[in-house]
Amino acid sequence: MKARVMRILLVDNDRFILEAVGELLREAGYAVETAADGLEALEQIAAAPPDILVLDVVMPKIDGARLCRYLEDDPRLARMPVIVFSSLAAPDLLALPGLRGEAFVAKGPLPVVGPSLLQALAKAGQGNGEPQVYGYEGFRPRQVVAELLHLKQQQDLLLQHIRDGVLLADGAGRVTEANPAAVRLLGASERSLLGRPVHEVFEPAHRGAVRRLWDALLRGSESTDCLTVHQEGRPLRVRFSPVGSRTVPATIVLILTDLTGTDPLSW
């Protein structure tokens, strides 16, 4: 009887990694699918969970640690083997809240890291609870990646503690992050908001207005960048702030301010 081919989801925002490592794994007999960011990976996992997840850490939209937290919260996915494939130092990876992996493999030249990654994959699902470390002999972490991770941790800390709700959306209009205040004001879980079109997170009566304002911003309209909606019985001011070019924004930040107790004439 022919052995079942193991399915791997390889997640990395570096297209070269996806192509080169993907080809290496296919030649080794694995069925490989790829995702270029954490949101794309989350959508693919929800549709068809892979046997093994090979995961970068510092990525756009949803980073590796946050993706692991969402997997842990889902009983169907909590036991999925995860191999962390990163250019960060192992101690930094082990200290990241939420990040889990039964193996940590250092990035580097493919002839060097290929055997380490294949060794980790061969042992996937056989761990005893202690993460295994591969390819860190003589490894030098990339400083720029460590600095990006530090900036992301600072951003996360700020978002956790500010009073206003904050939604981050990608250029296609899909929610990629929601802070605790936004979750409370919108009356939805963080996980249920991820990947949804921005206008759909609001109550039906306001979705058309939110969509029209979003489209106006992408056309470069300067007429207004905010509107008032009612959500969960509260009046909210929603302000849109594109990051980057208005016509091709990498991210749009939505600030949700609770207007309860203020003069309606000021809305």
What is the pLDDT tens value at each position of the chain, 267 positions in all? 566 889 999 999 999 999 999 999 999 999 999 999 999 999 999 999 999 999 999 888 899 999 999 999 898 898 899 999 988 877 777 777 788 888 899 888 888 889 999 999 998 877 666 778 887 766 565 665 666 666 777 777 888 889 999 999 998 899 999 999 999 999 999 999 999 999 999 999 999 999 999 888 877 765 568 999 999 899 999 999 888 665 555 788 999 999 998 877 676
Q: Are residues 232 and 176 in the same domain?
A: yes
Q: Residue 127 domain-assigned? A: yes
Where does a domain end: 106, 141, 176?
141
Residue 53 falls inside a structural domain? yes
> For residue 19, what pLDDT is reported?
95
Query: Looking at residue 248, what is its pLDDT?
Result: 59
Predicted pLDDT of residue 94: 73
The pLDDT score that the predictor gives to residue 267 is 65
Residue 229 lies in a domain: yes
pLDDT at 133: 83
pLDDT score of 181: 96
Q: Cα separation of 156 and 179, whole Å?
A: 8
* 257 and 167 assigned to the same domain: yes
> What CATH number corresponds to the domain at position 207?
3.30.450.20
Give the predicted TM-score (pTM) of the model: 0.81
Are 174 and 98 in the same domain? Answer: no
- 171 and 232 co-located in one domain: yes
Same domain, 11 and 130: yes
Residues 121 and 170 in one domain: no
Same domain, yes or no: 126 and 35: yes
Instruction: Give φ, ψ of 63 to 5 degrees.
Output: -80, 175
Specify the pLDDT at position 30: 95
Same domain for 175 and 65: no
Q: How many domains does the chain have?
A: 2
Spell out the long-range contacts of 192-200 with Cβ–Cβ below 8 A and sequence spacing 24 or more.
193/167, 194/39, 194/42, 194/62, 194/70, 195/39, 195/42, 195/43, 197/173, 198/167, 198/169, 198/173, 198/174, 198/252, 198/254, 199/173
Domain ends where: 112, 141, 170? 141
Are 114 and 28 found together in one domain?
Answer: yes
Retrieve residue 76's tokens.
Answer: 């169907």
Give the pLDDT score at 138. Answer: 60
* Statement to judge: residues 174 and 213 lie in one domain: yes
Q: Residue 195's domain spans which residues?
A: 162-266
Considering the domain architecture, whether residues 134 and 170 belong to the same structural domain is answered as no
